[in-house]
Amino acid sequence: MEIKDYCTGIQHVGIPTNDIQLSINFYQQLGFHLALFTHNNDEMVAFLKLHNLVIEIYENKCAKMEVGAIDHLTIDVKNITDLYDLVKSKGFTILEKHITTLPFWSHGIKYFTIVGPNREKIEFCEKL
């Protein structure tokens, strides 16, 4: 199989912020609704949806506040363990030493992230 065979669609775009409430309010004015609000370690995390578009906003107090500051693109995948092995075998730079699990959404997620040619991050995510 090829990498594309594991990918099922876009999951979300990740945007860091220094003020999560300001960001939530902004995107709600555009018509997004708050789908999930949670914490990941010390960061507040919000997922907002507009039809099939999902953005993840997380308050890390390190947002660059400049054009081009979107942090990552996330792709929905299936069989993340097999995909991880395939991506690793092709020599991509993987940021995590192993697949990571977070308690997001109703059953949690598994993910790993690679680095693109422009230092962008591409996250592969499987909802459990």
Q: Read off the pLDDT of residues 72-128 as tens digits, 9 standing for 90 and up.
A: 999 999 999 999 999 999 999 999 999 999 999 899 999 999 998 778 899 999 999
Residue 45 has pLDDT above 80, yes or no: yes
Domain count along the chain: 1
Measured at the CA of 48, the angle between CA 30 and CA 3, to 5 degrees, comes to 120
User: pTM of the full predicted structure?
Assistant: 0.85
Phi and psi for 27 in degrees, rounded to 5? -70, -30
Listed residue (8, 29, 6) closest to 83, CA to CA: 6
Count of CA atoms in the C-beta half-sphere (13 A) of 122:
16
Q: In this model, does residue 34 exceed pLDDT 90?
A: yes
Q: Which residues contact 30 (CB under 8 A, 6 or more apart)?
A: 50
For position 37, which CATH number holds? Answer: 3.10.180.10
Domain of residue 85, residue span: 3-127
Write the pLDDT tens digit of every residue in 47-68: 999 999 999 999 988 888 888 7
Asked whether residue 8 carries a pLDDT value surpassing 90, the answer given is yes
